[in-house]
Structure 1
Amino acid sequence: MIRFRRITISPLQQWIPAQKLPASPPEYRLRVWREVNANLAPLQEELIAYAQEALDDARKKIRRGLFDPLSPFDEDEEDPAANYPAVLHRVTLQGYLGETLAGLAVEHFGAFGAQDWHIPAFLFRMHDTEFQHLDLINERLQAGAAHNPDAESEMRPGRTGDDAIAFRLDSSGKISHVLTLEAKCIAKNNTGTIRSAHEKLSIHQDRPSGVRELINLLNDYDTPEAQEWQKRLLVFWKEGFKTSQRSDGLAYAVGHHPTKDPTQVSWLPADKPHTAYTGGRPLEAMEFQLTDIAGLVDVLYRSQTDG
């Protein structure tokens, strides 16, 4: 599946206007967007569609071999992807939100001075522990049992590997630039979370693990666009990683902004990379200061109970 949705830029900029920051040093840039919650309504439906499209490949994987939505004989058949992801724990949904915001920023606001980044698919389908959990939840619901999605017992481990990967292409259609994205989304600022995110980005790996996952993902689709992306990713995996330009990106979504010091605009460092970042690659830091993470999660994920 190749994603195609974009959000109308003007209402998006009004919802999360960019904050003014001092100039950053070479090889590092921080950008900060601070939510104006009152401006969510005009783009709410577009934002829901964008977030849900990011999950469509995961639904395809859940349904594979178990459900045929095109069959006229399956009107009463159980959908294995029913209630995904609405019934999952809020922490899981915040993780999905962080990864989606990372992609949204790169696709709509660019990165490293370029606007032509592509994220052909998100990697939500790799969250197998939650798919197993979903089976259990749906069995409970069908039996009439109560389900509190945010009970501590309903928490499951997050995915491993890259959160998202963006690419730029050269004039011949080959991958020329790769941006590996690490995303965090938490209700309250946490310096430990910021540090661990930078440490994870710093790990040396010439070929991001998510590239292999994308190649396998695209094998499920026979559209010309998917086949073309699979070919160029295979070229990158074999030899292209040696000549492409690699950079890193951190997306940090947090439920409040600094208030004690009027001169402090961000939680992430503005003048230089975090001390925990030792990757030695160009780093783009993106901070989203949200006013109501719980409400945004409900709007994007729990208002769509049947997927």
Structure 2
Amino acid sequence: MTLHTCSPPKAALKRWLKDFPSETGSYGHLLLEQQSPCDDQLIAELVPYFESAHGDARAFFHEQMGIDLHPDADAPGAHATYPSCLPPISRRGLFGEVMAGLVTESFAFVGGHEWRIPVFLFRFHEDAEQYLFALAREEGRKRQVYGRRGSDFLGVALNDEGEVVRIIVGEAKWRKALQKAIVHELMYGKDVTNKKTGITKNDGHGIWAQINKDVPVPHGLRQLQRLIRELDPETFSAAILSLDRVLIVRDAEPLPRTNLIFISGNDVPSRGAAVSLIPWQEMPEDYTAGHDLQVVEMILTDGEEVIDGVYDALWPAS
């Protein structure tokens, strides 16, 4: 089991995506539009980062399943290798979460902080673990997989002494087509009509509600601390100690925080070039959490080809 150590392929991102950044006070917005098609070179440049992001969970899940970490193509259980064997919907969700981290480590965000992701939290995906355990023993046991609970990803900013001085907490969503109605549902939840009054309003389960109601110290921070303590306690000794002070229930002082909303998906004809789906000129009125906010919209033209290309290429069986 390993930490996430791969540097982001910034040259590949620059070739692949055109960026439109803006920053107003404590609000940052970044629109990314695909400007070159998916090809073998892009896939090859993305794969090492994705393998690094999934490396800890892969080692953990394979140990839990009781199969070799790098099985031969005809080895028992080889059909259940993580993460490639997960259902398409699950792989698209994972893609969004990894890309949220990749973009965070590659582009300037509001506040100008230097973000680091010591390890992705994918091993805490309980339903994926249960799915893989059953699938390894019965290849026909395929089903959809529920998403991981909690924040989609979490990064930290460290000072010169290695202490955690700020956190970035992200919600990452992938949608096949980024139509206005779909983005509205993502942000506000589904529209529900009251049968008695006939009034229609959203159910309050969208991203705005999730991010506004989140506790100042997210559960993922404890999970991150547990992982770095297990994987590399010497390198992260100062970070672990600083998180102890934050995670004590009584009299704990929350760390400064940046919230990230990362939405990715395929473009639609109704959207014009360089037109964002979430307003960028000023902080959205729907955001009430009080922390710095960074919104990223990554709009692709062949996103599913990229996703399948990357996940099919991870850790090829020997």
Q: Same fold (TM over 0.5)?
A: yes
Q: Residue 14 of structure 1 contacts residue 36 of structure 1 at CA under 8 Å; is this kept in 2?
A: yes
State the Cα distance separating 1:102 from its structure 2 match.
0.8
Structure with the higher fraction of residues in strand conformation: 2
2:183 is the alignment partner of 1:185: no
- In 2, Cα distance between equivalents of 1:174 and 1:65: 32
State the Cα distance separating 1:206 from its structure 2 match.
2.0
Alignment of 1:167-246 (within 5 A): 167-189=156-178, 190=182, 191-195=184-188, 196-222=206-232, 224-225=234-235, 227=237, 229-238=239-248, 242=253, 244-246=255-257
Question: C-alpha root-mean-square deviation of aligned residues, in Å?
Answer: 3.0
- In 2, Cα distance between equivalents of 1:272 and 1:56: 38
3-state SS in 2 of match to 1:283 = strand
Partner of 1:277: 287
The TM-score with structure 1 as length reference comes to: 0.83
For 1:193, give the aligned amino acid. L
3-state SS in 1 of match to 2:24 = coil
State the Cα distance separating 1:7 from its structure 2 match.
3.0
**CA 1:80 to 1:123, structure 2 compared with 1: closer, same or farther past 3 Å?**
farther
- In 2, Cα distance between equivalents of 1:219 and 1:138: 30
For 1:85, give the aligned amino acid. P
State the Cα distance separating 1:24 from its structure 2 match.
4.5
1:85 aligns with one of 74, 83, 86: 83
Partner of 1:114: 112
- In 2, Cα distance between equivalents of 1:40 and 1:266: 26
- Work out the number of aligned pairs and report it: 291
Which whole-Å deviations, capped at 9, do the CAs of 1:35-72 have from their partners, x for residues lacking one? 134265434222111112111111222133665869xx
State the Cα distance separating 1:228 from its structure 2 match.
5.1
Q: Where do 5+ consecutive residues of structure 1 fail to align?
A: none
% identical equivalent positions: 23
Q: Residue 63 of structure 1 contacts residue 80 of structure 1 at CA under 8 Å; is this kept in 2?
A: no
Q: Residue 253 of structure 1 contacts residue 290 of structure 1 at CA under 8 Å; is this kept in 2?
A: yes
Q: Where do 5+ consecutive residues of structure 2 fail to align?
A: 189-205
**CA 1:77 to 1:83, structure 2 compared with 1: closer, same or farther past 3 Å?**
closer
For 1:136, give the aligned amino acid. A
2:36 is the alignment partner of 1:47: no
Q: Residue 15 of structure 1 contacts residue 40 of structure 1 at CA under 8 Å; is this kept in 2?
A: no
**CA 1:104 to 1:40, structure 2 compared with 1: closer, same or farther past 3 Å?**
farther
- In 2, Cα distance between equivalents of 1:7 and 1:226: 21
Q: Residue 52 of structure 1 contacts residue 301 of structure 1 at CA under 8 Å; is this kept in 2?
A: no
- In 2, Cα distance between equivalents of 1:297 and 1:40: 12
**CA 1:289 to 1:277, structure 2 compared with 1: closer, same or farther past 3 Å?**
same
- In 1, Cα distance between equivalents of 2:145 and 2:64: 25
Q: Residue 129 of structure 1 contacts residue 157 of structure 1 at CA under 8 Å; is this kept in 2?
A: yes
For 1:256, give the aligned amino acid. D
Q: Residue 53 of structure 2 contacts residue 98 of structure 2 at CA under 8 Å; is this kept in 1?
A: yes
